[in-house]
Structure 1
């Protein structure tokens, strides 16, 4: 089975980045929702990571999750080394739009 990789669509000169299957399931924690201001139309298996949010997560070292059991409250979650590496790559390469190839 091939390892999933993120292919930059807005910076085609940047080499794709392989990610673990585990990190693949965590992309939804960091992606911008379809229809949010500034998010272009996305194709199948495409993700948008807003640069300002990526910088914020790197600076703070945490992100917030809403519990499906308690939508009124958010839980602060420390980013892992693997997540930090991905966010650092997005930030350093100025990438926001990627396609997931599996």
Structure 2
């Protein structure tokens, strides 16, 4: 079975980033909101990341999950090594627009 990977659509010569199944499922935690500045129309399997948010998560070492049942409260979640490595790949390579490939 082939491993999933992130392909940088805004840097096509960059080597793809390998994704575990777990990290692939967590991409939605890190994608920019629908009103993010400069976000293009996304096709299926594509994600857009806000540079400022990526930088903040890396500096803080945490991100926040908001429950759909209680939008007033957010849980602070420490970044795993795997999440940190992916966010670092995005930040270090100035990647914002990716597609997941299998």
Q: TM-score range by the shorter chain?
A: over 0.9
State the distance in 2 between where 1:35 and 1:72 align.
20
Greater than 6 Å deviation, 4+ residue runs? none
* Aligned length, in residue pairs: 102
Show the counterpart of 1:38.
38
Show the counterpart of 1:75.
75
Show the counterpart of 2:85.
85
Unaligned runs of 5+ in 2: none
Unaligned runs of 5+ in 1: none
- Calculate the TM-score normalised by the size of structure 2: 0.94
Q: Secondary structure at the match of 1:14?
A: coil
- Calculate the TM-score normalised by the size of structure 1: 0.94
CA RMSD of aligned residues (A): 1.0
